[in-house]
């Protein structure tokens, strides 16, 4: 009914819904923050290559909104099929966009390696063209094709203290879900302490200033999605090298 309490959902790749807030870092937010990181440095012409699927439209919207903060628009969005490794989309990109500054690759569940191979065959990344990846790339083993790509993702040094305490207490390693859960417990306890039970409202939970936790700065939107500020990295020699301490796209 109308008094249904809000839900903080710790579900993988969940986009959120009315009154059901997505807690985990989503690929769209990572892609948007990564694009914002380069737009802040002056990149103007962006191409989005996104794995075809039900989340592709939301991905495009989120990245476009992020770039609009910097007065930049997506030059083109191309959905690609895992069936051909993205080769068709990469060829099409070459005929539609002349000399983009950056290509964003949102690979979804699949490995980004095949489409990165297709891009490499066209000389991308290069001296004037950057590649932006997402947090979901990091679900796969580091590949030499990842070299030079930029990625916005959570800071392991912020989640580290929680993971260390968890391991000491339970004698086995924590994954990032422990940090997310810790943040949600801290958030709800803080709201209850400061405001009381009436604090669990849209107005409080959707505070545009957001909240800070072990997973960084985050805020919830009216559509149930979350936005996160996170560090901006470049992959060098198979490891994440910090470029900027914070990028968000909001």
84 and 204 both lie in a single domain: no
Specify if 1 maps to a domain.
no
Number of domains in the chain: 2
145 and 190 both lie in a single domain: no
The residues, ordered by sequence, that sit 6+ positions from 88 with a Cβ below 8 Å of its Cβ are: 80, 81
For the chain, 250 residues long, give each residue's pLDDT as a single digit of tens: 457 899 999 998 788 899 999 999 989 999 999 999 999 999 999 999 999 998 899 899 999 999 999 999 999 999 999 888 999 999 999 999 999 999 999 999 999 999 999 999 999 999 999 999 999 999 999 999 999 999 999 887 777 788 888 889 999 888 888 889 999 999 999 999 999 988 999 999 999 999 998 888 899 999 998 888 899 999 999 999 999 988 876 7
124 and 31 both lie in a single domain: yes
Specify if 172 maps to a domain.
yes
Contact 40, 249 (CB under 8 A): no
73 and 185 both lie in a single domain: no
Task: Identify the pLDDT of residue 249.
Answer: 65
182 and 141 both lie in a single domain: no
**In this structure, what CATH number is given to the domain that contains residue 207?**
3.40.50.2300
Which H or E element spans position 29?
helix 27-39
Task: Identify the pLDDT of residue 4.
Answer: 84
20 and 32 both lie in a single domain: no
CA atoms within a 13 Å half-sphere pointing along the CA-CB vector of 167: 10
Nearest to 92 by CA among 75, 113, 107: 75
């Amino acid at each position: 009914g109308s008094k249904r309490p809000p839900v903080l959902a710790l579900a993988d790749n969940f986009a959120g819904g009315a009154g059901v807030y997505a807690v985990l870092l989503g690929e769209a937010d990572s892609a948007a923050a990564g694009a914002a990181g380069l737009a802040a440095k002056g990149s103007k012409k962006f191409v989005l290559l996104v794995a075809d699927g039900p989340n592709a439209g939301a991905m495009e919207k989120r990245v476009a909104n992020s770039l609009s903060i910097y007065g930049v628009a997506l030059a083109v969005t191309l959905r690609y099929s895992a069936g051909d490794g993205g080769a068709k989309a990469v060829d099409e990109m070459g005929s539609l966009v002349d000399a983009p500054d950056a290509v964003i690759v949102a690979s979804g569940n699949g490995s980004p390696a095949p489409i990165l191979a297709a891009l490499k065959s066209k000389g991308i990344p290069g001296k004037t063209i950057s590649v932006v990846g997402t947090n979901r790339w990091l679900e796969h083993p580091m590949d030499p094709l990842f070299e030079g790509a930029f990625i916005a993702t959570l800071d392991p040094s912020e989640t580290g203290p929680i993971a260390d305490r968890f391991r000491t207490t339970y004698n086995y390693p924590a994954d990032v879900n422990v940090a997310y859960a810790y943040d949600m417990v801290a958030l709800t306890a803080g709201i209850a302490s400061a405001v009381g039970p009436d604090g669990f409202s849209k107005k409080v939970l959707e505070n545009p200033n957001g909240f800070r936790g072990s997973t960084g700065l985050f805020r919830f939107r009216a559509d149930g999605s979350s936005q996160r500020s996170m560090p901006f990295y470049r992959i060098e020699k198979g490891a994440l090298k910090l470029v900027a301490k914070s990028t968000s796209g909001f």
